[in-house]
Amino acid sequence: KAGVTQTPRYLIKTRGQQVTLSCSPISGHRSVSWYQQTPGQGLQFLFEYFSETQRNKGNFPGRFSGRQFSNSRSEMNVSTLELGDSALYLCASSLGQGRETQYFGPGTRLLVL
């Protein structure tokens, strides 16, 4: 099976702009979770989607949002970008039936100037 894919892999934006990142899960996986990875804060959970519904949310401001489509693909959006949003954004997919293994994508590296 193909692994989790994320597009784009790299992105440069300026403060105040917005950005949309995309994640395609492993075929058959219905749960997609998003994480932010920074040198200072490490890996932090953003949110999880299952069957097009946000099922769990981390402690991030409302500028961070997401959605999931009927084919389980997911997008996350960050509005009004700040310098501190520069990070590697990872998505992970799983079947969504319990505390099973999550499979991670390669990430999208976002740089905010």
Partner 1 sequence: AQRVTQPEKLLSVFKGAPVELKCNYSYSGSPELFWYVQYSRQRLQLLLRHISRESIKGFTADLNKGETSFHLKKPFAQEEDSAMYYCALSSGSARQLTFGSGTQLTVLP
Binding site for partner 1 (CB under 8 A): 3, 31, 33, 35, 42-45, 48, 50, 55-56, 58, 90, 92, 94, 96, 98-99, 101-107
In 3-state terms, what secondary structure has residue 22?
A: strand
Nearest to 48 by CA among 65, 33, 69, 29: 33
11/104 with CB nearer partner 1: 104
Q: Which is nearer to partner 1, 68 or 81 (CB)?
A: 68
Radius of gyration, alpha carbons of the chain? 13
* Least CB distance to partner 1 at residue 3 (A): 8
When the beta carbons of 13 and 104 are compared against partner 1, the nearer one is: 104
Q: How far is the CB of 12 from partner 1 (least distance, A)?
A: 20
How near is the Cβ of 47 to partner 1 at its closest, in Å?
A: 9
**6/40 Cα distance (integer angstroms):** 23
Partner residues linked to 20 by β-bridges:
77
DSSP letter string over 37-64? EETTTEEEEEEEEETTEEEEE-S--TTE
In the complex, the smallest distance separating the C-beta of residue 106 from partner 1, rounded to whole angstroms, is 5
Q: Which is nearer to partner 1, 81 or 93 (CB)?
A: 93
